[in-house]
Amino acid sequence: MAETWGGPLEKIDNFRFRIPAAYKPGMLVPGLVYADEKLLKDIVRDRALEQVANVAFLPGIVRASMAMPDIHWGYGFPIGGVAATDIEAGGVVSPGGVGYDINCGVRMVKTSLRFEDVKDRIRDLANQLFRTIPVGVGSEGDIKVTAREEREILVKGARWAVEKGYGCDDDLECTEEFGAVAGADPDAVSERAYKRGKSQSGTLGSGNHFLEIQVIDQLFDAKLCDAFGLDQGQICVMIHSGSRGLGHQVCSEYVQDMVGCLRKYNINVPDRELACAPVTSPEGKAYLAAMRCAANFAWANRQCLMHLTRLTFEKFFGSSWQKLGMDLVYDVCHNIAKIEEYPVAGKMKKLCVHRKGATRAFGPGHPALPERYKKTGQPVIIPGDMGRNSYLLVGTEMAMEETFGSTCHGAGRVKSRSAAMRSIDLGKLLKELEAKGIVVFASGRGTIVEEAPQVYKDVNDVVDVVHNAGISKRVCRMRPLGVIKG
DSSP string, 101-114: STT-EEEEEEEEEE
**Whether the Cβ atoms of residue 348 and residue 341 lie closer than 8 Å to each other:** yes
**Whether the Cβ atoms of residue 199 and residue 140 lie closer than 8 Å to each other:** yes
**Whether the Cβ atoms of residue 70 and residue 460 lie closer than 8 Å to each other:** no
Instruction: Mark out the alpha helices in 92-186 (DSSP H runs).
Output: 115-118, 122-132, 147-156, 158-163, 169-173
- Helices 122-132, 282-317: axis angle to 10 degrees equals 130
**Whether the Cβ atoms of residue 19 and residue 31 lie closer than 8 Å to each other:** yes
Q: Which of 209, 240, 354, 409 is catalytic?
A: 409
Question: What distance in Å separates the CA atoms of residue 272 and residue 20, rounded to the nearest whole number?
Answer: 22
For the CA atoms of 343, 178, 154, 58, the dihedral, rounded to the nearest 10 degrees, stands at 20
Question: What distance in Å separates the CA atoms of residue 84 and residue 88, rounded to the nearest whole number?
Answer: 12
Radius of gyration of the chain (CA): 21
**Whether the Cβ atoms of residue 241 and residue 209 lie closer than 8 Å to each other:** yes
| DSSP code for 78 | P
Among the listed residues 358, 414, 405, the one whose alpha carbon sits nearest the alpha carbon of residue 55: 358
User: Does residue 374 sit in helix, strand or coil?
Assistant: coil
Among the listed residues 403, 329, 49, the one whose alpha carbon sits nearest the alpha carbon of residue 176: 329
Among the listed residues 5, 53, 4, 15, the one whose alpha carbon sits nearest the alpha carbon of residue 37: 15
Partners of 277 in the β-ladder: 93
The HSE-up count of residue 276 (CA atoms within 13 Å, CB side) is 33
Question: What distance in Å separates the CA atoms of residue 355 and residue 80, rounded to the nearest whole number?
Answer: 8
User: How many other C-beta atoms lie within 10 A of the C-beta of residue 194?
Assistant: 17
**Whether the Cβ atoms of residue 393 and residue 472 lie closer than 8 Å to each other:** yes
Active site residue 72: no
Residues involved in catalysis: 409
